[in-house]
Amino acid sequence: MTLRPGLATCEAMQSSTSFPDWHGTTILAVRKNGQTVIAGDGQVSMGQTVVKGNARKVRRLAGGKVVAGFAGATADAFTLIERLEAKLEQYPDQLARACVDLAKDWRTDRYLRRLEAMLLVADSTAIYTVTGVGDVLEPGEAADGNAVAAIGSGGNYALAAGKALIDQDLSAEAIARKAMAIAAEICVYTNGNLTVESL
């Protein structure tokens, strides 16, 4: 299964692997007018039960130069973020190379390939979706360089809302907050308790 840039979701990844039925995350990245923002909701669900409402699923890495958000199993995502941070130390200021190297390890390493998570990673110039099937996807950009990408249970809702809002007279952060609010109204596995990081 090939995932199209900017449309990667946990559900798409589940259909190509044997992931369990977990939900509970929406992560959205928006780049507009030189500002890049990643926003993530705080809900963690197990089946039909909300386990936690204020989880922090967006982190700053590489001394604040990179922001990463994760969807999926929390412990697995932390393992991947630690690996990504090590790659960023190995390849400073080379986010694409670090992401490709992580995806390669993730796909080929016997331990890593069992990890059930996805990452949405950005620096000031690029956004990447990194998956366990070896994909490093960059969202399609408009002619003006604006871009939107999303992952997670409510990722498609947030992505659609972000794309609809990108041409409005709004900042990247305002678009991210509005799109996440729309996703929270539609997706039962997404709430309005946001963590927002900007570059």
Residues designated as active site: 25
Buried b (16+ CB within 10 A) or exposed e, 106-133: beeeeebeebbbbbbbbbeebbbbbbbb
Strand order in the sheet with 127-130: 58-61, 66-72, 117-122, 127-130, 136-137
CA distance 97 to 88: 9
Cα–Cα separations (whole angstroms), residue 128 to 30, 31, 38, 45, 111? 11, 12, 11, 25, 23
CA distance 170 to 153: 25
Calculate ∠ Cα 159-67-48, nearest 5°: 55
